[in-house]
Amino acid sequence: MGGLTWSYVFKRLGMWVLTMWLGTTIIFLIPRLAPGDPVAAMVSRMSAQSGYVENSAELIEVWRARFGLDEPLPMQYVKYVANSLRFDLGYSLANFPSRVDAMVLQSLPWTVGLLLVATLISFVLGNTIGALMAWERTPGLVKSLLPISLTFTSIPFFMLGILLIYVFAFGLRWFPPSGAYGRGLIQGFNLPFMTSIVYHAILPAFAIVLASMGFWALGMRGMMITTTGEDYVILAEAKGLKPSRIFWMYGVRNSILPQVTALALSLGAIVGGAVLVEYIFAYPGVGYLLYQGIVTADYTLIQGIVFMIIFTTATLVLILDLIYPLIDPRITYEKG
C-alpha cells in the first residue's frame, strides 16, 4: 500500500465514523433548539394562503404524529440515526409528500454545474497568481498587476453578487439578474437550453471566482516563498533546467499539497458558503433549497442537506489523507 499502514487506515476510518456521528448529532439538535413548531408554522402558512384551515389543532397533532415529532427526543434521535445509516433522508415537512433525497437530487446538478466549476476555476487562477507573485523570475510589470486581481477578495460573495447585478444586469443589461435559464425553452441537452444555462450562470460564477480567488493566491504565495528557498530548487537551477520546468515541477508541485487539502474542505462546504449567492440570483441549487428549508423550519430538509455536506466533506478528506503518499512520495505513514 505504498507509504500507508493498515493501522493508519483504520484510525482514519475511525475518525471518519466519529466525524459523521458528531455531525449528525449536531444537525439533529440545532433545528430542535430553535423556537417554534415546524408543523404549526406550516399550518399558519396554509391559513395565510387560504384564509382559514378547518380543525387546525387536530391537523397539527396528526402531522406531528405522522413525522414522529410527538415522540420523546431520544426516540426521534435513534430513528434519525438509523435512517441516516441507510441514507434515508425522509419526507420534507414543508413540501410533503416530496422526499428530501428527490429534492436534493433535483437541485444538485445546478449546484455542481455552477459552484463546483466556479470553485475549480478560482482554485486554478488563484494558485497560479499566488505562485507567480512569489516567483522571482516573474516580470516586474506582471507582479505589479497581479495584486489588482485580488482587490475583490475582502468583499463577501453575496455583496459582490449584488454589485454585479446592479452593474451588469440593471445597468449595462448584459446579463439576466436571476434564474438558471430563459423561459419557454425545452429542457434537455439541446443547444438553446445549454447556452441559456451558461449565460445565466456567468454572473453568479463570476461573483464566486472574484471573491474566493484571493484566498488561494495568498496561501499559494506563502507556500511558494518557502519552497523557492529549498535545496532541490537551488540544485535544479544549478543544473540549468528550464525556468518553466523549475516553476511548475519543483515550485508549484511541491507547494500545492496544502492547497489541495483546502480544496477538499471547500468542496464539501461549498453549498453552505454559497447559500446567499444562490438566493440573490434565484438559482435553483442546493444552497437555495437549504435557505428555503431554514425559512420554513423544515427539519428534515435541513438535516438532509447538511448531512450530505458533512458526508461529502468527511469522505473527501479521508480520500485525500489516504492518497497523500501518491501525490507526494516524501510522505509516508510507515513506521520507521
**Residue 262 maps to which CATH number?**
1.10.3720.10
Question: Cell 446592479 maps to which residue?
Answer: 166
pLDDT in the model for residue 52: 57
List, for the chain, all residue ranges whose pLDDT scores fall below the cut of 50.
1
Domain enclosing residue 276, as ranges: 102-295
The number of domains in the chain is 2
pLDDT in the model for residue 16: 92
Same structural domain, 172 and 50: no
Same structural domain, 136 and 231: yes
C-alpha cell at 185: 425553452
pLDDT in the model for residue 18: 92
Same structural domain, 118 and 231: yes
CA pair distance 231, 235, nearest whole angstrom? 6
Same structural domain, 196 and 331: no
CA pair distance 75, 20, nearest whole angstrom? 19
Same structural domain, 173 and 54: no
Same structural domain, 159 and 174: yes
pLDDT in the model for residue 268: 61
| pLDDT tens-digit series, residues 116-164 | 788 888 899 989 988 888 888 888 777 777 777 777 777 877 788 888 8
pLDDT in the model for residue 304: 87
Which of 22, 219, 236, 240 has its CA nearest to residue 126? 219
pLDDT in the model for residue 331: 62
Same structural domain, 115 and 246: yes
Same structural domain, 1 and 115: no
Query: Measured at the alpha carbon of residue 261, what is the angle toward residues 310 and 127, in degrees to the nearest 5?
Result: 125
Same structural domain, 35 and 115: no
DSSP 86-126: TT---B-SSSTT-BHHHHHHHHHHHHIIIIIHHHHHHHHHH
Same structural domain, 61 and 118: no
Same structural domain, 241 and 268: yes
Bridge partners, residue 179, by sequence? none
pLDDT in the model for residue 17: 92
Same structural domain, 253 and 151: yes
